[in-house]
Structure 1
Amino acid sequence: MTFWSRPFARLASALAAVVLAAGLAVAYEVEPMRLILDLGSNRTSTVISITNTRDTRLPVEIVMKRRIVNADGSQEFVAADEDFSVFPPLALIEPGESQAVRLSYIGDPALADSRAYVAEVQEVPVSQPGFTGVVFAYNFGVAVYLRAADAEADVSVGEIRRDETGLYFQVINDGSDFAMLTDMAVRIQIGPDSVRLEPAQLGELIENPIIPPHATRDFHLPIADLPDGEIRISLE
């Protein structure tokens, strides 16, 4: 096993443990989970579907939030009621039935940069008469990307460093559209040796791949035991 493959083997074992530990059914479904609106083509409206797979009524509320991604990958969510019209904003879905919800962008039609939002489907907890236990409510977040007219991403690699925990590098987006690191491959070269990380591998290694317009993102790859030598990283 090479120094490149050892960290991936450990990571695969950890991911398998997480999958085996998961399995709690939330008993309702939302689709799709990712949407793209495009101001350039006047595609500013879309529909999500909420299906109640329970045997009781499902009350939900749909709230739009602006999604702000920081350099370290952490996120902030800010109310975006003025940017979207949601119909219906509230629904009571019967068992086995589905509810279509229309999301329409009504904000600035001349945005310079693309934006990211989340359509948060919030279950409204309901306590039954005489019930004294804990009521669980489940929320879904649908990723909504609003593409500015003629927006394009323009990414490059910035600072590169390493320590005992792995490899750190910056990706700079000088463009007006979002970029996703998991839509690219990353080639790491140390001396004469190199490895190409495919998008699927990056998806396992990186929790948040989003690179916002006109922003810099910091990424960490938990690849230990790297050989000595100058490190070069390129995006392919």
Structure 2
Amino acid sequence: MAAPVSSLTASEECITTRSAIVAGNLTGHHLLDIEGYSVTKELLPCVNCMDSRRFKFGGRLWYICYYPKSIFNGVHADFISIYLFLVEGIDKPVKAVVTYSLLDQAGKPVPSHIITTGVYKYYTQYFGLHQFIKREFLEKSDHIKNDRFTIRCDITIKKLEAEERTALPASVDVPPSDLHQHLGNLLVTKEGADVTFQVTGESFRAHRNILASRSPVFKAELFGAMRERAMRRLS
């Protein structure tokens, strides 16, 4: 038995839809000023931190945790730790790369203290550096002045998502022009003729638009300032 054959009938439509996979980076930064550094060491013992104010980036809220005496005890206790948190309550994780920098007094990153993380998924997790700055290095450097220094946090969100797109209209095959045939039919049938010529006593009906398009003399006569009425006779 032969297999059934399907065909596209004239009443069926061919519908085109379109979407896109979009990838890119969104980058911004936050400056965290530590004022009264020596006091933060007194008030915040090891594994204790102070949160920054929340800031908005990429449509989400973030904050930074500053640990003046490290997030861990033991061998890491001589370091300042810094961590970035994403506020909970988002519908999906955010992939981001973060760069932490100690700034000098001119506001420029100190080359020895520019540290970039890998790509992490921020959801309920937090990521950062438990050995960001050794306190002895900071306290002997020129990067702290009047008990104050600044940390810069650069965030690069990795965007990868699917988006809807408007489909371009399907191409249409335009049939060859048959304007000459239509004009010929007008001349034969005299349909829509609106001007009459008198030549040696014989009348000929014509279309003023066609005459004007073919002759500047007729154009001036039929559409110029001297025309008197819609229908007229020319001899």
TM (normalized to structure 2)? Answer: 0.31
Larger-Rg structure: 2
Structure with greater strand share of residues: 1
| More helix as a share of residues | 2
TM-score by length of 1: 0.31
